[in-house]
Structure 1
Amino acid sequence: MRHFLLFLASLSIICLGSFAPPAQAEGFVRADHQRIVDGKGNPLILRGLGLGGWMVQEGYMMGLANLKAQHIIRNRISEVIGEKRTEQFYRSWRENAVTKADIDAMAKWGFNSVRLPMHWNLFIEDKHGRNTSKNIVWNEEGFRRIDLLIRWLKANDMYLILDLHAAPGGQGHDIAISDRNPNKPSLWHSDENQAMMIALWSEVAGRYKDEPTIAGYDLLNEPNWGFQDKKDKGGCRETENQPLRDIYRRTISAIRAIDTKHMLIIEGNCWGNNYAGVLPIDDRNTALSFHKYWTPTTQESIEPFLKLREQYDMPLWNGESGENNNEWYARAVELQEKNGIGWSWWPLKKMGAGNPLEIKANANYRRLIAYLRGEGKKPSARTAFSGLMQLATDSHYDRNIHHQAVVDALMGPSRKSGTAE
């Protein structure tokens, strides 16, 4: 869950450069001035769901809000059942939590896109030597899972947005989002971490530059960091954002040296809401993403972003919204589509309600999380492992609880082309 209040004050932004000529790639989704268009140049409203909790587990999704970040959850589980069994659980989780059945269901419900939150450690195995960009050993599991997603999405005429959710070192003080370890250098304090981030996007560009199923590259999810004022943990009062602008500039340059076709997506500081000093971006095939949680569903609530769209002649996309009630969902979607803005709701599934799909918690897993929350006795390794493996099995689409009302709230009578089972 996003532990913040969104920063929606008007932004004073100084023009720092001129736009490069627009990139044209027939067959690819692209930014066309203030609109996102499909491969034929027709206006495209992206209606999607985020696969949160699959590659990057946030504590609240697992009933472990107290532990926050995935690496902490994993370490605590390992203390109970051992590292070998912990790895077995995580592999089973990734095999079950997102499958072709989930994508087929999304298509049936009427969604046309999926946002994939990526964890860098599923793509980078290791690094050797000083030259980070040339000495990375790639972890093929992450790319294999992207390839499967592309296959499933292509069969349903849907799009994929790749989102670097957990960057090397972590990009924010809200550690659950990026699985940041505060005891290690952050993305902002390590040249090596920044080099790995850029190398990862370069590798993605090289592998997928000719794949039109991918609608865009969402370069860095929800930065939340005070560069000038260390007390401003979320970066909501930041007026320059120079390190963020710099890493975008270098990442875009590296991608464009390989891939001139795909639309790029950038997010501001303050969880994707503070663009002071970040714009303009010297690439015309770039969209601006904002995230909207818990704020009013009034025209005024998105006016700062509409002004940025007009000022910098670039499209808007709401890359994350959700964790609310169905009435709010319906109003938020209506507001955004009325203003020509596509969206990706968060998430497809988790433990707990509020999503199209819900993962059930079994008795043995409840015993484990009670212990990890400090509310119960330590279960045996056998009991804990049994509960975890059952949870992984129950994360599969066929075993999820289906919430039709959530789908109805998001898709509405004018958008919905199917129903949940």
Structure 2
Amino acid sequence: MTQVRDVLPQPWKGVNLGGWLLLEPGPSFPLFTHHLLKDKSQARCEWDLMKVLYEKLGKAGAAEVIRSHRETHITKADFERVRSYGLNAVRLPFGYWIISQPRPREPYMGPALEYVDRAVAWAEELGLQIVLDLHGCPGGESPEAPCGRRQRPESRWDWRHWDFAASLKILQLLAKRYCDRSCVTGIAVCNEPCGVIPASNLISYYSRAVDTIRKAGMHESRVAVVLPIFQRPEGEEAFIAKWAKTTQGRHRNVCFDVHCYHCFENQFHGKTFAEQLRAVEENSKMFQRYPMVAGEWALGLGRATWCTCGDMDEDTVISIFGAQQMEAFRNSSHGSFFWNWKEDPEDKEWNFQLAYEQGLLNRPALALPPWDHTGEDPLEDILHPSPEDPVVYYGLSVCTEESTQKAFIFHEAWPCKEPRRPVKHRDIVRIQGHNKHFVAVTSLLARAFSPLMALQVPDPTLALQLLRLERYVATSAPKHQKRYFFSRATSTTIDADDEADGIFARWADFGDWQAITVERPPELQRAVALPQPLPQPRPRRRTKGHKENNNILLE
């Protein structure tokens, strides 16, 4: 059994109104910057911000701050401007406390249903479609800020805390209240549910939510029910297949919500610009197969993009990326929504108005060259041409970004008189940073218990600092493509982390996010003077319980 791919008569081409009726840093700018925690840092979620407001201003003062924010953050003028930009829809995220009373001992302020009423009225008056998005459910659908409360450690939250029954009552109230409003063409049953929620339980809730919404008056011929499949561990397609098998196709005009972000997690930080565009291409194929909406997308890109985009300036890279995404969304049965309408006024990757005004959303899409996934993708060299001499030689600087401050040098483990020798398959090498220190790699246990084995990096770049000397092995001459470093001692692959500073050897798999792009920087392509050989370290005596130095395999 497969899920019928119903298509909206007018797929949504819209923008999120995040940060208005559910508060988050960035989207709720500048509310979070004006009301800081005691340590002068920003609160990370609405829950924590409300606690700050109550402590500083009391209940009446906090209520006035929230009332003022809700009155001014989004107004009818914003809806008029959305329409003037050629968009046809808005997605309205809100917490359950906007619809009903907050639960006991929760600091949220509500209900405030009049603001949803206003949004629906403005959309109807201006000819916009609106998707009502239950962004924060009772009990929370995750331990993250988008549902209202960010909980750390994450184990403080359990998926059973999510009150499914109370969430269904909220959806019933919404459906009954707005079932006769023609502008309401979608309703989302939650937002970004945590991946630890068993698929069977999530599918059960989704099926009951569709039934609840339909029985309350929102007919399948007019209103789509949006079912998020955010970061499902079994993958989007496997989840949809299980949904179809469980529900036997009895639900119509449902769509699965995916959030297309290319700047989070190690996986996307490790992708080259070409790989980012190929990922968009794969998304496009998925949109063609299933009923889907890109409920959130933005222009942010992972770190590796910026050292694999040739001589293109930042705006060109961003606009190309935006064009490819928008072309992919044309294949979506239910459309897409940019995140977000309001954001930090200087953040063009997330602020739709700024991106639009700077012309970052009006470039035609590129026709990508065909590639059968064998050999190097021809798109790599189109977007980031190989240097005149791409081979990496011992003693010459190479880099992962076009900056000598982010460069490093391969040195042989033993002296060699052969000049200008390339790094070859299975060579033993040592890696030296621009600051003359050498790379050290740690296992997960060493990272946790032995600071002497951890490589400390003061920023996300490869500014290397020596804490202990290590030996490495290379398995092929690195050119203009990504390589893997593998520790023979621990049978794990070297990787950087998207949150913790450092380079670690932790897992044996070879994911995209673990690959490292190594190449000659343009200004150093013709360098011929080799530095003097480095003094060789004396052999160290092994002591009981001391692990052998990690050897890194370049593949």
Q: TM-score, normalised by structure 2?
A: 0.50
Cα distance change, pair 241–139 in 1 and its aligned pair in 2 (3 A): same
Alignment partner for residue 330 of structure 2, among 311, 332, 337?
337
Cα distance change, pair 323–307 in 1 and its aligned pair in 2 (3 A): closer
Alignment partner for residue 316 of structure 1, among 280, 287, 292?
292
Distance 2:350 2:160 in 1: 38
Given that residues 323 and 354 in structure 1 are in contact (C-alpha distance below 8 angstroms), is that contact kept between their aligned partners in structure 2? no
Please list, as runs of the form range in 1=range in 2, the aligned pairs for 1:66-81 lying within 5 A after superposition: 67-81=43-57
Unpaired stretches in structure 1, ≥5 consecutive residues: 1-14, 20-32, 39-43, 129-137, 228-239, 359-400, 415-421
Question: Who is 1:94 aligned against?
Answer: 70
Given that residues 131 and 185 in structure 2 are in contact (C-alpha distance below 8 angstroms), is that contact kept between their aligned partners in structure 1? yes
Matched residue count: 311
2:17 corresponds to 1:51: yes
Given that residues 194 and 247 in structure 1 are in contact (C-alpha distance below 8 angstroms), is that contact kept between their aligned partners in structure 2? yes
Cα RMSD, aligned residues only: 3.4
Please list, as runs of the form range in 1=range in 2, the aligned pairs for 1:408-419 lying within 5 A after superposition: 408-410=359-361
Cα distance change, pair 357–171 in 1 and its aligned pair in 2 (3 A): closer
Please list, as runs of the form range in 1=range in 2, the aligned pairs for 1:245-394 lying within 5 A after superposition: 245-259=203-217, 260-261=219-220, 262-270=223-231, 274-275=235-236, 276-277=238-239, 278-280=242-244, 281=247, 282-294=250-262, 297-298=276-277, 300-301=279-280, 303=282, 306-307=285-286, 310=289, 314-322=290-298, 324=300, 325-337=318-330, 342-354=335-347
Given that residues 288 and 333 in structure 2 are in contact (C-alpha distance below 8 angstroms), is that contact kept between their aligned partners in structure 1? no
Q: Residue 303 of structure 1 aligns to which amino acid in structure 2?
A: E
Give the CA deviation at 1:307: 4.5
Q: Residue 70 of structure 2 aligns to which amino acid in structure 1?
A: R
Encode CA deviations 1:304-359: one digit per residue, 9 max, x unaligned. 6744863xxx422111011524443233112322566621000100224335997x
Give the CA deviation at 1:46: 1.4
Encode CA deviations 1:236-278: one digit per residue, 9 max, x unaligned. xxxx512211211221222222222421111114279944445
Distance 1:100 1:329 in 2: 27
Distance 2:362 2:125 in 1: 21
Cα distance change, pair 307–152 in 1 and its aligned pair in 2 (3 A): closer
Q: Give the match's secondary structure for 2:185.
A: strand
Question: Who is 2:7 aligned against?
Answer: 36
Q: Residue 261 of structure 2 aligns to which amino acid in structure 1?
A: Y
Q: Give the match's secondary structure for 1:59.
A: coil
Question: Who is 1:149 aligned against?
Answer: 119
Identity rate of aligned residues, in percent?
21
Distance 1:139 1:81 in 2: 18
Give the CA deviation at 1:145: 1.5
Cα distance change, pair 257–407 in 1 and its aligned pair in 2 (3 A): farther
Stretch moving more, 148-157 or 291-300: 291-300
Give the CA deviation at 1:83: 2.5
Distance 1:187 1:196 in 2: 16
Alignment partner for residue 160 of structure 1, among 130, 136, 141?
130
Distance 1:165 1:268 in 2: 14
Question: Who is 1:209 aligned against?
Answer: 179
Report the structure, 1 or 2, having the larger helix content: 1
Give the CA deviation at 1:53: 0.6
Q: Residue 284 of structure 1 aligns to which amino acid in structure 2?
A: R
2:90 corresponds to 1:114: yes
Distance 1:72 1:176 in 2: 10
Give the CA deviation at 1:104: 0.2
Distance 2:192 2:13 in 1: 20
Question: Who is 1:125 aligned against?
Answer: 101
Give the CA deviation at 1:81: 2.4
Give the CA deviation at 1:214: 0.7
Distance 1:187 1:194 in 2: 13
Larger radius of gyration: 2
Unpaired stretches in structure 2, ≥5 consecutive residues: 263-267, 269-274, 301-317, 366-555
Which one has more relative contact order, counting CA pairs under 8 Å at least 6 apart? 1
Distance 1:255 1:272 in 2: 27
Given that residues 288 and 315 in structure 1 are in contact (C-alpha distance below 8 angstroms), is that contact kept between their aligned partners in structure 2? yes
Cα distance change, pair 224–305 in 1 and its aligned pair in 2 (3 A): farther
Q: Residue 146 of structure 2 aligns to which amino acid in structure 1?
A: I
Give the CA deviation at 1:181: 6.0
Q: Residue 214 of structure 2 aligns to which amino acid in structure 1?
A: R
Distance 1:407 1:111 in 2: 17
Distance 1:341 1:256 in 2: 18
Distance 2:211 2:64 in 1: 39
Encode CA deviations 1:75-96: one digit per residue, 9 max, x unaligned. 1233222222111011100000
2:196 corresponds to 1:226: yes
Question: Who is 2:146 aligned against?
Answer: 177
Distance 1:309 1:402 in 2: 28
Q: TM-score, normalised by structure 1?
A: 0.65
Distance 1:50 1:199 in 2: 24
Distance 2:42 2:102 in 1: 30
